[in-house]
Amino acid sequence: MEEKSAKVYLLAHTMPVNTIDGSKNPERVVAAAGKLCYSKSDVMNLYNGLDDEATEKFVNMLSSMGHQSPIEHISFTFGIEGISRTCSHQIVRHRIASYSQQSQRYVDLQNSFNYIIPEAIKNNEKAKLLYEKSMLADMDVYKEITQALIDEYTQGITDKKEISKLIKKALEDSRFALPNACETKIIVTMNARTLLNFFKERCCNRAQWEIRDVANQMLDIVLDVAPNVFANAGAPCTFGKCPEGQMSCGKRVEPKIKQIIRRK
Ligand SMILES: Cc1cc2nc3c(=O)[nH]c(=O)nc-3n(C[C@H](O)[C@H](O)[C@H](O)COP(=O)(O)OP(=O)(O)OC[C@H]3O[C@@H](n4cnc5c(N)ncnc54)[C@H](O)[C@@H]3O)c2cc1C
């Protein structure tokens, strides 16, 4: 059993093809989609004249107008590990996205599962001891339930394939005993418009610390790839007014260094 923390990796993102200068800058796709809306240009000529400078201008113009559909044409795929099932459940509430998550039905965690420990619990000696005790107990109970079910299902069965199927059947039900703290891994694909909404909700101090950490890592990553699209991304208070009213935390979320540098 190992304690884990969130790590986000960029696995893929949209790239244009057939640009005049061979650029792979995804913002060219956004600019081309925007250009199509406002010009007579044929599709095959959309990239003409769209160098990085023109692309930046176009993307900024779309952003200032609030014309968001062109940014739906670029997507980002992230691999996320070291997060709890609690966090992954919050992530998948964002419906305009695609997900693939490690299965607790098919991945056998009997040898041990990894878990996430909240900072507040880690910093409280008594809470930490109780937490670790509970993780160990959960592990034992999970193993015992799995074994009890395997023993029942495989009685008198010798065929290896059949036994393997029955082990999976046992895992299907014993996983109900696993804690929310259990580590999971998930691949997430979101388009840029969904990401802006995700950052607005999840970089906010009112979001829970774990998904906030994930959102901040994702924002750091996409700022490298599409800095103009995500120039104003983040919690609403970073560049505007807090919409939370009485629920407001009263603290402004600082912009990312990459956003500050871009504004200079
Ligand atoms: C601080 C915080 C606390 C939360 N607490 C709770 C809670 O206590 N309980 C709870 O259940 N959830 C809670 N949530 C989750 C929240 O309600 C959303 O389900 C989640 O954040 C996903 O956001 P979304 O719907 O905007 O994203 P997406 O599902 O990606 O949707 C993006 C946007 O598309 C539009 N859209 C998508 N589907 C529909 C639809 N069916 N009808 C109309 N428009 C649609 C909306 O404009 C939406 O904003 C919380 C979220 C946060 C950030």
184 pLDDT band, cuts 50/70/90, is very high
In a domain, 156, yes or no: yes
Give 68 Cα–ligand 1 centroid separation in angstroms: 18
207 and 143 belong to one structural domain: no
Mutational pocket test of ligand 1: of 68, 87, 89, 93, the residue with most ligand atoms within 8 Å of the beta carbon: 93
Tell me which of 181, 211, 228 is where a domain ends.
181
- Ligand 1 centroid – CA 127 distance (Å): 32
Which residue has the least CA distance to atom 18 on ligand 1?
Answer: 93
- What percentage of the chain reaches a pLDDT higher than 70? 100
Q: How confident is the model at residue 220 (pLDDT cuts 50, 70, 90)?
A: very high
Residue 195 belongs to a domain = yes
Q: Which ligand 1 atom is nearest residue 194's CA? A: 30
Which residues are registered as beta bridge partners of 187?
A: 79, 100
In a domain, 192, yes or no: yes
Same domain? 146 vs 204:
no
| pTM: predicted TM-score of the whole model, two decimal places | 0.94
Instruction: Tell whether 75 and 188 lie within a shared domain.
Output: yes
Instruction: Please indicate, yes or no, whether residues 252 and 131 belong to a single structural domain of this protein.
Output: no
Task: State which residues form the domain around 158.
Answer: 120-181
Same-domain status, 68 and 191: yes
Q: Judge if 57 and 41 occupy the same domain.
A: yes
Report residue 106's pLDDT band, with 50, 70 and 90 as the boundaries: confident
CA of 194 from ligand 1 middle (Å) equals: 11
CB-based contact 3:115 (threshold 8 Å): yes
Q: State the angle between helix axes of 192-202 and 209-225 in degrees (0 to 180), rounded to the nearest 10.
A: 140
Judgement on whether residues 165 and 192 belong to the same structural domain of the protein = no
Instruction: For residue 132, give the amino acid letter.
Output: E
Residue 202 designated active-site: yes
The pLDDT tens digits for 131-155 are 999 999 999 999 999 999 999 999 9
User: Which atom of ligand 1 is nearest to 206's Cα?
Assistant: 1
Q: Which residue lies with its CA nearest to atom 49 of ligand 1?
A: 197
CA of 236 to the centre of ligand 1 (A): 16
pLDDT at 95 over 90: yes
54 CA distance to ligand 1 centroid (A)?
35
The reply to whether 170 falls in a domain is yes
DSSP string for the chain: --EE--EEEEEEE---SS-TT----THHHHHHHHHHHHS---GGGTTTT--HHHHHHHHHHHHHHT--GGGGG-EEEEEEEEEEHHHHHHHTT--SSEEEE--TTTS--SS---EE--HHHHTSHHHHHHHHHHHHHHHHHHHHHHHHHHHHHTTT---HHHHHHHHHHHHHHHGGGS-TTBEEEEEEEEEHHHHHHHHHHHSSTTS-HHHHHHHHHHHHHHHHH-TTTTTT-S-HHHHS----GGG--S-PPPPPHHHHHHH-
259 falls within a domain = yes
Counting ligand 1 atoms within 8 A of each CB, the residue from 87, 94, 196 with the most, and so the one to mutate, is 94
CATH code at 209?
3.30.1360.170
Domain count for the chain:
2
Task: Answer with the one of 145, 160, 181 that is the final residue of a domain.
Answer: 181
Instruction: Tell me if 89 is assigned to some domain.
Output: no
Q: How far, CA to CA in Å, does 54 sit from each of 25, 37, 66, 150, 225?
A: 12, 16, 18, 64, 17
Site to probe by mutation for ligand 1, drawn from 91, 92, 96 as the one with most ligand atoms within 8 Å of Cβ, is 96
Query: Which of 158, 181, 204 lies at the terminal end of a domain, its last residue?
Result: 181
The reply to whether 157 and 42 lie within a common domain is no
Residue 192 shares a structural domain with residue 257: yes
Question: Does some domain include residue 1?
Answer: no
Name all residues whose Cβ lies below 6 A of ligand 1: 93-96, 194, 197, 201, 206-207
For the segment 39-75, what is each residue's pLDDT rounded down to a tens digit?
888 999 999 999 999 999 999 999 999 999 999 999 9
Whether residue 171 sits in one domain with residue 151 = yes
- 192 & 251 share domain: yes
For residue 85 the two structure tokens come to 């099932």
Marked catalytic residue, from 28, 175, 193, 202: 202
> Quick check: is 98 in a domain?
no
Same domain, 177 and 221: no
